[in-house]
């Protein structure tokens, strides 16, 4: 991964770190454990582990006879354990990677035969600021700093895992882990908050900022319609896939 992309991803989560454990990611971690079902004695690799929300819950499940390895962004790190892992998780990070397909193929080499991978991507168009900024990006000559164009529905994630040689067991739309109501009167404030973060900071470039705000509010009003309200939902497409057993 290029250093610029690493720095970008680090900046996103550095900004969120203070309130991360109190956000919807706690409920997402619970959903991961329910879906992955770590068993006593299993080995677990938690990629993009962050503050350890998934790692710590997995540790409780695998007990003393198992173990959990948590890895966050760090250059040239590979997990220990040449025999591979029973379970690999990667929560709320896959879509930020420059080449998700390559990443999945690489992770697969760390799975034991029959081992399972659980990962997710945000459901299409559920995040209001991101959706609106993407829809006005062409007029501004900028784009989101990650590629989510491949995410169209649940099957998009299933296809990605299947193309890496994994047997896809299930792909589903999660519940909403957090909801936020945006009102038209707050659209300018929503824009300012979005572009103050590293995730959407390029839309706050002084050369385009005023026009970006105008287009953001205009598109918000168009989508909100007579109600003047848009609902932001933290919903994910989540999948479980297995590495085929050795023949």
Helix (H) or strand (E) holding 168: strand 167-173
Q: Listing from the earlier edge strand, what are the strands of the sheet with 236-242?
A: 67-71, 43-47, 85-90, 111-122, 236-242, 167-173
Q: Would you state the structure tokens that stand for residue 73, as one six-digit string?
A: 């962004």
When pLDDT is averaged across residues 64-69 and rounded to a whole number, the result is: 96
Angle between helices 154-163 and 100-108 (to 10 degrees): 50
Q: Structural domains in the chain? A: 3-242 (3.40.50.150)
3-state secondary structure of 128: helix
Percent over 70 (pLDDT), the chain: 89
Per-residue pLDDT band for 13 (boundaries 50, 70, 90) equals low
3-state secondary structure of 142: coil
Can you give the pTM of this predicted structure?
A: 0.88
| Beta-sheet strands, E only, within 32-143 | 43-47, 67-71, 85-90, 111-122
Q: Is the dihedral of CA 70, 171, 2, 24 positive or negative?
A: negative
pLDDT of 175 > 60? The answer is yes
* Helix-, strand-, coil-residue percentages of the chain, each rounded to 5: 45, 20, 35
């Amino acid at each position: 991964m290029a250093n610029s992309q690493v720095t970008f991803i680090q900046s996103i989560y550095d900004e969120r770190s203070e309130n991360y454990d109190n956000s919807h990611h706690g409920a997402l971690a619970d959903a991961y454990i329910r879906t992955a079902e770590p068993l006593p004695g299993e080995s677990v690799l938690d990629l993009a582990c962050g503050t350890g929300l998934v790692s710590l819950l997995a540790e409780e499940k695998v007990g003393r006879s198992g173990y959990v390895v948590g890895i966050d962004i760090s250059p040239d790190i590979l997990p220990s354990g040449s025999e591979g892992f029973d379970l690999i998780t990667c929560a709320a990070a896959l879509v930020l990677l420059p080449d998700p397909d390559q990443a999945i193929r690489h992770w697969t080499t760390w799975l034991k035969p029959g081992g399972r991978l659980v990962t997710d991507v945000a459901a299409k168009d559920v995040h209001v600021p991101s959706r609106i900024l993407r829809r006005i990006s062409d007029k501004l000559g900028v784009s989101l700093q990650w590629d989510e164009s491949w995410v169209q529905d649940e099957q998009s994630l299933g296809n990605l895992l299947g193309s890496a040689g994994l047997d896809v067991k299930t792909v589903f739309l999660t519940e909403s882990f957090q909801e936020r109501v945006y009102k038209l009167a707050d659209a300018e404030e929503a824009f300012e908050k979005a572009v103050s973060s590293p995730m959407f900071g390029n839309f706050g470039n002084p050369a385009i900022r005023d026009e970006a705000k105008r287009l953001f509010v205009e598109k918000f009003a168009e989508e909100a319609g007579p109600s003047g309200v848009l609902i932001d939902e933290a919903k994910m497409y989540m999948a479980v896939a297995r590495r085929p057993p050795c023949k």
